């Protein structure tokens, strides 16, 4: 597992982009206190999900409003048709650790990391 950040660096219902991994990931803290991590790049177009709106366990892409589950990465609103990878998260002593998914990332056309 990779140490990603400290829990106090996260804000309720907001995301932060982590560029230290490729492709970048977005880490979110929900208002219920759950920490989730997804690939940061929307599968429809090159937009950062960390800049999206978080509500009801989902993040809405800031570019075209597709929404993705924070827990599974599944998409439920077009124009995106493919989900993003979700990553396993553990919080240990106030530090956020992520185990990156080994699945192939779903990147939008033309985006390469």
In tens, the pLDDT along 29-56 reads 999 999 999 999 999 999 999 999 999 9
pLDDT for residue 14 = 97
Contact indicator for 68, 82 with CB cutoff of 8 Å: no
- Average pLDDT value for residue range 98-102: 98
Tens digits of residue pLDDT in 8-34:
999 999 999 999 999 999 999 999 999
Domain span including residue 60: 2-99
CA distance 79 to 110: 17
The total number of structural domains in the chain stands at 1
87 domain-assigned: yes
Model confidence, pTM? 0.95
- Domain assignment of residue 84, yes or no: yes
Nearest CA to 43 among 106, 113, 110? Answer: 106
- Whether 62 is covered by a domain: the verdict is yes
């Amino acid at each position: 597992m990779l140490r990603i950040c400290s829990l106090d660096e996260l804000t309720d219902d907001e995301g932060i982009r982590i560029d230290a991994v490729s492709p970048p990931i977005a880490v979110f803290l929900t208002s219920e206190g759950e920490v989730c991590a997804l690939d940061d790049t929307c599968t429809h177009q090159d937009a950062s999900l960390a800049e999206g709106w978080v509500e009801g366990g989902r993040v809405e892409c800031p570019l075209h409003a597709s929404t993705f589950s924070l827990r599974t990465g599944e998409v439920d609103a077009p124009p995106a048709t493919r989900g993003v990878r979700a990553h396993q998260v553990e919080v240990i002593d106030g530090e956020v650790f992520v185990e990156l998914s080994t699945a192939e990332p779903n990147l939008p056309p033309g985006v390469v990391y």
